[in-house]
Amino acid sequence: MEIPPLSMTRPAAGTVPGTQAQTQVSAARDSAKEFEAMFLGQMVDEMLSTVEIGNFGGGHAEETWRSFLSDAIGRSIADQGSTGIADGIETAILRYQTGRER
């Protein structure tokens, strides 16, 4: 059985037509990408906290700036779109907005 991509499916009954629907889809996509970047940033931060830095780093400054590095790495991974997290979140948001179960 072949399932068409989300962009090719017909909108559910009761959805908002036209540009408002496009705005909702765009907002859902932006929120999903932001969530993915935040989630990946937290995951990277946890991984970096377990890595031995060696002679370079350590102390209060390293702890302070590590979160910025983790966030940047998380955004970079999210921008690649390789994890699929944002796709799943976007689908869930759109289903919630339209009241569809599947």
Provide the pLDDT confidence category of residue 6 given band limits of 50, 70 and 90. Answer: low
pLDDT digits (tens, 9 = 90+) for 29-66: 999 999 999 999 999 999 988 887 666 667 777 778 88
Q: Are 100 and 38 in contact (CB under 8 A)?
A: no
pLDDT at 14 over 70: no
Determine the longest span between alpha carbons in the chain, in angstroms. 62
Cα(26)–Cα(68) distance, integer angstroms = 27
Q: Are 74 and 38 in contact (CB under 8 A)?
A: yes
Q: Domain map of the chain by residue range?
A: 19-98
DSSP state of 13: T
Cα(59)–Cα(27) distance, integer angstroms = 40
Higher-pLDDT residue of 9, 56: 56
Provide the pLDDT confidence category of residue 86 given band limits of 50, 70 and 90. Answer: very high
pTM listed for this prediction: 0.69
